[in-house]
Amino acid sequence: MICPFCARDSSMVLKTVKSTTVMRWRKCAACGQTWLTEEALMRPVFAREESPKQTAPKSPAEKPWKVAIAGDQKGEK
């Protein structure tokens, strides 16, 4: 890992603590500075298969009303 102080790629891990995250104490071999890194564990995400949506029948209150327009019915002119 690159040292955040001197930007050299010569670090070593001093200690690792694993829990819900992985915390590592590192030390640069070039400048001697120490720092802490924290790695978050990633859980795999599985794609779900989409099921066809099932809708319940509409209640009478939800049904659209049909409005008869004058002169629109059969037999009337």
Spans of all domains in the chain? 11-39
pTM: 0.51
Distance in angstroms (rounded) separating the CA atoms of residues 4 and 37? 11
pLDDT of residue 38: 93
| Per-residue confidence (pLDDT) for residue 58, from 0 to 100 | 61
- Rounded CA-CA distance 2/26 in Å is 10
Higher pLDDT, 36 or 43: 36
